[in-house]
Structure 1
Amino acid sequence: MTFPALPERAGDRPGTGPEVPHLQLTQPSPPQIKEALRRWMATALPGTVSGRSEISVPSTWAVFLSDAAPAGGARLFLPRGNAEFVHLHADGSLHLALDPADHAAFLASGWGEKHPLYDRGVNVVMFYAPRDEAELEVAKKVIAAAYRYATGHAPSAGPAAA
């Protein structure tokens, strides 16, 4: 398991769409929080490249493994299944591939929900858009868990990568 302990998420659950594309409809990230998250994702995850998602809507920014195969047994995003492991929507929400052993802990944490295709074997969960700096740090911890699942090792050193 790679999933960190998380604080309780404050407030009500945001509204989300019930089908694909799975988007968050309320409580978006403020622009500066979303941009800070995107910058962190672009610099704190060694061996990755970023660009337009291969599976989500055109405005979605994704992180891909650049030069290595995923860790043994890791199931990443379709269509390739071996490169994209997290993407950031325009609303600030994220989709991530997490270790299936971590799904129950993540879902119980209140920070996200299953993707509409989750029960059909798609290894994707949504992390709700961070609304402030504290929630941004939680997002980094969950992204670090997705990175560990995808690569088999931790991202760059730092408090949010631990």
Structure 2
Amino acid sequence: MTFPTLPAREGDRPRTGPEVPHLQFTQTSPPQLKEELRQWMATALPGIVPGRSEISVPSTWAVFLSDVAPAEGARLFLPRGNAEFAHLHADGSLHLALDPADHAAFLASGWGEKHPYYDRGVNVVMFYAPRDQAELEVAKKVIAASYHYATGRAPTVTTAAA
């Protein structure tokens, strides 16, 4: 899978924390949008089980590989390294494992930033909290890329046309 082409993100970069827990403080998601994203993740990604993140703060909702093995070479979230590949924070931001070959394109897109431990070899990037429906569709594209990296398969449900 080639990393999707993303539209330009409007506005300034949100303010995020420089350390762990890596959270977003401004431009957060409206609650209904965050819930819509959570529901989409729970239904569009086959072979996953949702639950509380094993690595982030207790309010963080994550998706774990369950009925599907990780793709060969995929580096997912610690501590297991083979199950959690994306999680949604209470602010609406996401942390995702992406194919390292896609990191430069993602970071150049303006939709997110490196995790504070990125330079220590942690394969995690932050996707900024979607603020509206159009940004939610962009989030789905990036989550689909993360799922594809984690599993070697595309999700069964596609995003709406942007």
User: TM-score, with normalisation over the residues of structure 1?
Assistant: 0.97
Deviation at 1:158, TM superposition (A): 2.3
* 1:63 equivalent in alignment to 2:63: yes
Cross-structure match for 1:115: 115
Distance 2:85 2:39 in 1: 16
* 1:42 equivalent in alignment to 2:33: no
* Number of residue pairs matched by the alignment: 161
SS of 1:69 mapped into structure 2: coil
Conserved? CA contact 1:74–1:149, under 8 Å: yes
Conserved? CA contact 1:3–1:105, under 8 Å: yes
Specify the code of the residue in structure 1 equivalent to 2:31.
P
Cross-structure match for 1:88: 88
CA RMSD, Structure 1 to Structure 2 (Å): 1.1
Unpaired segments ≥5 residues, structure 2 = none
Unpaired segments ≥5 residues, structure 1 = none
Cross-structure match for 1:22: 22
Cross-structure match for 1:3: 3
SS of 2:63 mapped into structure 1: strand
Deviation at 1:93, TM superposition (A): 0.1
Cross-structure match for 2:13: 13
Deviation at 1:90, TM superposition (A): 0.1
SS of 1:86 mapped into structure 2: strand
Distance 2:71 2:111 in 1: 25
Cross-structure match for 1:142: 142
Deviation at 1:160, TM superposition (A): 4.7
1:60-86 CA distances to partner (integer Å, 9 max, x unpaired)? Answer: 000000023210000000000000000
Runs of 4+ in 1 over 6 A off after TM superposition: none
Specify the code of the residue in structure 1 equivalent to 2:46.
P
Cross-structure match for 1:152: 152
Specify the code of the residue in structure 2 equivalent to 1:56.
S
Identity %: 86
Deviation at 1:157, TM superposition (A): 3.4
